[in-house]
Amino acid sequence: MSSIAIRDLKVSIDATEIIRGLDLEFHKGEVHAIMGPNGSGKSTLAKVMAGHPDYEVTGGDILLDGESILDLEPEERSRKGLFLAFQYPIEIPGVSNANFLRAALQARLPEGEELDAVEFYERLYQKMDTLEIRREFTSRSVNEGFSGGEKKRNEILQMAMLEPSYAVLDETDSGLDVDALRVVANGVNKLRSPKIGILLITHYQRLLNYIVPDFVHVMYEGRIVRSGDKELALELDSQGYDSLRPVETV
């Protein structure tokens, strides 16, 4: 039951079907990786899980701990413990990182309860140290003027602060140099625990050298076409995605 289970999911945008009957389940305590070529529907899957309004689910279901989340607003999914690290984190001018995180944590508290500011900053500084983020960062506007690496680190910082049960990391490695990748991966590894299930979405095998997955799935044309352990990622890396093209029946 402690899992996210995706059952025969079908998703369209503007009448084009992008996900075509996808099945996937990941449990708390596990790290799964989804690999696939551009256009295979990986990022669409991440956005649909989070409830992006542009996509239409035309079939199937997504269950969080056994309950469908398809009818829930994005914020309700978030409060149930689902986190999405964005491939392209959004800038929010004038809203400081500290205020944004406080608002996000406050939104999780019952009506009338106030977030403890002292405890909040203690935790925040501790997580920032782990991610090698300087203190002045708290007063900068969310993602505004951030480098690619800073944006990705900020996503992991938000994840660390919100303590989700399930996290989907969409192309977290894209645009990072090796040093930044190491810091981000280190941050994610520190968050690995039996309390969280992680789904890594990536185009390249490189990320998986740093965050070693328990399972690897290959996505192609809107479906999972192969699943295996971390060896599968290496195999893909050497042979390329073309080798996965389904064999046509003669």
Partner 1 sequence: MSTAITSIDIDRGIGDFFYELTPSRDAGVGLTEATIDYITDVKGEPDWIRDFRKNAYRVFNNKPLPTHWAGDELKEIDFDKIRYYLASGEAPKRTWDEVPDQIKKTFERLGIPESERKFLAGVEAQFDSEAVYSNIKKAVSDQGVVFMGSTDGLKERPDLFRKWFGKVIPTGDNKFSALNSAVFSGGSFIYVPPGVKVKHPLQAYFRINAENFGQFERTLIIADEGSEVMYMEGCTAPKFTTATLHSAVVELVALPGAKIQYVTVQNWAPNVFNLVTKRGLAMEGSEIKWIDCNIGSRLTMKYPGVILKGRKARGEVISIALAGDGQHQDTGAKMVHAADETTSNIVSKSISVGKGRATYRGLVHVPKHLKGCKNNTECDALLINSTSRTDTYPAITVRGTGNSTQHEASVSQISAEQIFYMQQRGLSEGQAMSLAVNGFVNDLVRQFPMEYSVELKRLIDLEMEGSVG
Q: Which is nearer to partner 1, 63 or 162 (CB)?
A: 162
Least distance to partner 1, CB of residue 88, Å: 9
Strand 215-220 to 166-170 pairing: unpaired
Q: Which is nearer to partner 1, 100 or 241 (CB)?
A: 100
Q: Which is nearer to partner 1, 73 or 229 (CB)?
A: 73
Least distance to partner 1, CB of residue 129, Å: 22
Identify the CA nearest to 51 among candidates 23, 11, 21: 11
Q: Which is nearer to partner 1, 53 or 246 (CB)?
A: 53
Least distance to partner 1, CB of residue 100, Å: 7
E strands along the chain, which residues? Answer: 3-13, 16-27, 31-35, 56-64, 67-68, 82-85, 92-96, 141-142, 166-170, 197-202, 215-220, 223-228
The Cα 197–Cα 191 span in angstroms is 10
Least distance to partner 1, CB of residue 101, Å: 8
The Cα 183–Cα 152 span in angstroms is 10
Q: What is the DSSP string of 129-155?
A: HHTT--GGGGGSEETTT--HHHHHHHH
Instruction: Give the CA diameter of the chain.
Output: 68
Q: Which is nearer to partner 1, 28 or 77 (CB)?
A: 77
Interaction site with partner 1 (CB under 8 A):
50-53, 73-75, 77-79, 83-84, 86, 89-95, 99-100, 103-105, 107-108, 141, 158, 162
What is the enclosing helix (H) or strand (E) of 52? none
Least distance to partner 1, CB of residue 21, Å: 24
Least distance to partner 1, CB of residue 229, Å: 30
Q: Which is nearer to partner 1, 35 or 167 (CB)?
A: 167
